[in-house]
Structure 1
Amino acid sequence: MPLSDKHPTVKRRRSQLLNHFLAFFVFAVIVVPVNFFTTPDHVWFFWPLVGWMGPLALHTAYAMGLFDRRD
């Protein structure tokens, strides 16, 4: 049975996921200008962001309860 939106576990998971998205956004806002100011002829900012998207997708799935055990 799915947990209610008011359940403490759901609230905690959502809060942690929001923090993860916020960290990703802040990192992106920093790394893109660093790339264009240091090496404008070589675009590399995309690769760290792509590397972070995998764990972010897994964290999103976890926060949605896709890895919860069904008894």
Structure 2
Amino acid sequence: MADPLPDSHPTVKRRRSQLLNHLLAYLLAAVVLVPLNFMLTPDRVWFFYPLVAWMAPLALHTAYAMGLFDRPSGA
């Protein structure tokens, strides 16, 4: 198994920055969807469907940012 890249490596910094942007977009969507749900259709709760569906890509992006999908070098 290859050693992980150091935290100061440009690839690690870029991946973390992209993940942070993805997480912020998710949180912004939640902040918009929850009030929108209760303003438009207070009798139906639907805001969690898009948020739960978004969690899978966010989890995969987190795994990618952690380097879990990187191929071992020299093996």
Range into which the TM-score falls when normalised by the shorter chain: over 0.9
Give the corresponding residue for 2:71. Answer: 69
**CA displacement at 1:5 relative to structure 2:** 0.2
Cα displacement (A) at 1:18: 0.2
For residue 7 of structure 1, what is the aligned residue in structure 2?
9
Amino acid at match of 1:68: D
Which ranges of 4 or more aligned residues in structure 1 deviate by more than 2 Å?
none
Identity %: 73
What's the Cα RMSD here? Answer: 0.5
Larger of the two Rg values belongs to structure: 2
Partner of residue 41 from structure 2, selected from 35, 39, 42: 39
Unaligned runs of 5+ in 2: none
The number of aligned residues is 71
Distance in 1, matches of 2:55 and 2:6, equals 27
Choose from 44, 51, 54 the match for 2:53.
51
Q: Distance in 2 between matches of 1:8 and 1:51?
A: 30
TM-score by length of 2: 0.93
Per-residue CA deviation, residues 20-40 of structure 1 (Å, 9 max, x unaligned), is: 000000000000000000000
Instruction: Give, in whole Å, the separation in 2 of the partners of 1:2 and 1:62.
Output: 12
